[in-house]
């Protein structure tokens, strides 16, 4: 009898989920984690900012206070450097499938396109923080700004980023459009204004196509 093949990737996979406020990343991360776990994969769910104990403290500062733009950039980079070293790299070495709610693209979209911080400076900070660790696949959950903000408002009190102007959030969305155009090999747009089940259907197809081959079977 042939030995059964364990459903574990040879090296870990790194999937990031991105989008504006209320795009549905947390909801879809949970569904994707359940789906992959049922298939036998070891899944690590994490997020930025706040994926480590130090990151939790930085998250409080970042989401509660309006900081000078360069200070904000440096704190997101400090959060990410700690996260990469203490969580992401060890998980990949242990062949985990990482589902990370926000990563470097958030800095480009929010601090770059939203705040107007210099793109080269952001690229340098991302490089220092990640030591070049890039997601294998990025799921960009794209919703119109009005839809995302209405969902975020429906959930309760808004943090300092969610209270930014509509124009700010439109620029952030444009930032994601730019990134999708720049990195079509790793970034997939998901139409996230649809009902939760239909959004997940697109996500499971994108993950299947990227990791399991064209047949989508696994």
| Segment interacting with ligand T5A (CB under 6 A) among 33-41, 89-97, 130-138, 191-199 | 191-199
For ligand T5A, how many residues bind (rule: CB under 6 A)?
27
Q: DSSP string of 68-124?
A: -HHHHHHHHHHHHHHHIIIIIHHHHHTT-EEEEES-HHHIIIIIIIIT---HHHHHH
Cα–Cα distance, 127 to 121 (Å, whole number) = 10
Site string for ligand T5A, 14-53 (x = CB under 6 A): -----x-xxxxxxx-------------------xxx----
Map tokens 């900070």 to a residue: 125
| Segment interacting with ligand T5A (CB under 6 A) among 34-42, 89-97, 195-203, 209-217 | 195-203
b/e code 76-100 from CB counts within 10 Å (16+ = b): bbbbbbbbbeebbbebbeeebbbbb
175: contact with ligand T5A by CB under 6 A: no
Q: Which one of 119, 196, 205, 212 is in contact with ligand T5A (CB under 6 A)?
A: 196
Site string for ligand T5A, 85-124 (x = CB under 6 A): ----------------xx---xx--xx-------------
Contact status, residue 94 vs residue 43, Cβ threshold 8 Å: no
Q: Shortest approach of ligand T5A to residue 40 CB, angstroms?
A: 25
Q: Which one of 161, 179, 190, 203 is in contact with ligand T5A (CB under 6 A)?
A: 161
Q: Which is nearer to ligand T5A, 82 or 106 (CB)?
A: 106
195: contact with ligand T5A by CB under 6 A: yes
In the three-class reduction of DSSP (H, G, I as helix; E, B as strand; rest coil), residue 141 is classed as: strand
Q: Which is nearer to ligand T5A, 23 or 91 (CB)?
A: 23
User: In 3-state terms, the chain is what percent helix, strand and coil (to 5)?
Assistant: 55, 10, 35
76: contact with ligand T5A by CB under 6 A: yes
Q: Which is nearer to ligand T5A, 102 or 186 (CB)?
A: 102
* DSSP assigned state of 17: E
Task: List the Cα angle 22/46/191 in 5-degree steps.
Answer: 35
Contact status, residue 55 vs residue 82, Cβ threshold 8 Å: yes
Query: Footprint of ligand T5A on this chain (CB under 6 A)?
Result: 19, 21-27, 47-49, 63, 76, 101-102, 106-107, 110-111, 151-152, 154-155, 161, 195-196, 199
């Amino acid at each position: 009898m042939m030995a059964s093949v364990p459903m574990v990737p040879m090296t870990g996979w790194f999937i990031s989920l991105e989008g504006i406020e209320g795009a549905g990343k947390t909801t879809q991360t949970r569904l994707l984690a359940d789906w992959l776990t049922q298939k036998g994969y070891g899944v690590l769910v994490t997020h930025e900012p706040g994926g480590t104990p130090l990151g939790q403290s930085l998250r409080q500062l970042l989401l509660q206070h309006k900081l000078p733009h360069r200070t904000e950039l440096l704190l997101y980079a400090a959060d990410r450097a700690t996260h990469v070293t203490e969580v992401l790299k060890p998980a990949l070495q242990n062949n985990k499938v990482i589902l990370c709610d926000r990563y470097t693209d958030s800095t480009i979209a929010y601090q770059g396109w939203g705040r107007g911080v210099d793109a080269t400076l952001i690229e340098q900070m991302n490089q220092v923080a990640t030591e070049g660790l890039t997601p294998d696949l990025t799921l960009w959950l794209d919703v119109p700004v009005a839809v995302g903000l209405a969902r975020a408002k429906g959930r309760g009190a808004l943090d300092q980023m969610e209270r930014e102007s509509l124009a700010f959030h439109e620029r952030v969305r444009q930032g994601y459009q730019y990134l999708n155009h720049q990195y079509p090999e790793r970034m997939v747009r998901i139409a996230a204004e649809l009902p939760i089940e239909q959004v997940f259907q697109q996500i499971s197809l994108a993950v299947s196509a990227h990791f399991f081959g064209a047949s989508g079977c696994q």
